[in-house]
Structure 1
């Protein structure tokens, strides 16, 4: 009887061990099969942003002191460069977002950027403007636009097609001279 009791405990131990080992293998396999999307929120890779984050924030503040930037998205105006949402998670941005309905599903979206010198009030026509429209979760729908041509007093991006419904992030990189 005593030998039979030990066989049951041994069998129970091997079942628990096998189940635990199987769960470990399943977890590793699931992690390997999950796609990894590179976040390009700053029009750069994660490592560059991580290494230079303080410099990026300081450059943005310096740029905002010298230039006034106005975005016009389908007739809706955003005045200035706002980076306060980079400290928030995506769900917080979705809840607090003030600019949710600016882009429309389908074609016909337009974005224009106007840049003025704060001291002189002159229109800046020598900037390089890079825009990135990206989905919140994955990067498969990322759209990047570049412009160094000024149309009147603003940089225009017309006929933008939004292929998927949902929340889109607009990130801009504005380069004027060394700034």
Structure 2
């Protein structure tokens, strides 16, 4: 059979269509087997975060006009991890009446979430008791900070194996 007279193109196009269809089916099968969990960057589902995006941004702006927050000790280890935050007003005076809710979680996996409560408060520094993590690796520290009538979310990505910290 001589395919040089132009009859090879229909075979090539047909093979390409079958290959592309097979790749699409394989992609769907593989992605359905992967564990996917909802994002909760703002300690809420992504649908709720999308609905409240403007409110979250406005609340953060209002908080930042009155207060400052910083993580001063992110001693995140698998055993005996310690987290400290400093909350101060815009003039760097300590604030001792903030309410801080913390969730330490793995990115995209909520199986080992830990909520931290009742920090020790001294001169604007909020110290959370030591805790133990389920394993080494990447962790997110998500905080919701409320002072009086303003609030903001303060999230940190960190790793127990190194000192890299990314605030967002």
TM-score normalized by the length of structure 2: 0.64
CA distance in 1, matches of 2:45, 2:103: 13
Contact 1:38 1:139 in 2 (8 A): no
Deviation for aligned residue 1:20 = 7.0
Count matched residues.
146
**Unpaired runs of 5+ in structure 1?**
1-13, 75-101
The structure with the greater share of residues assigned to strand is: 2
Task: Identify the residue that residue 73 of structure 2 maps to in structure 1.
Answer: 73
When normalised by structure 1's length, the TM-score is 0.61
Structure 2 portions without partners, runs of 5+: 1-13, 151-168
Per the alignment, do residues 22 and 118 of structure 1 end up closer, same or farther by CA in structure 2, a change over 3 Å counting?
closer
**Bigger RCO of structures 1 and 2 (CA < 8 A, at least 6 apart):** 1
For 1:18 and 1:122, locate their aligned partners in 2 and report how far apart those are by CA, in whole Å.
Answer: 67
Indicate if the aligned counterparts of 1:132 and 1:142 stay in contact, CA closer than 8 A: yes
Deviations 1:12-34 (A, max 9, x none): xx999888766655443333222
Which residue does the alignment assign to 1:31? Answer: 31
Q: Which of the numbers 129, 132, 137 marks the counterpart of 1:158?
A: 129
Runs of 4+ in 1 over 4 A off after TM superposition: 14-26
Q: CA RMSD in A?
A: 3.6
1:138: which partner in 2? 109
Greater helix proportion = 1
Q: Check the 8 A contact 1:132/1:143 in 2, yes or no.
A: yes
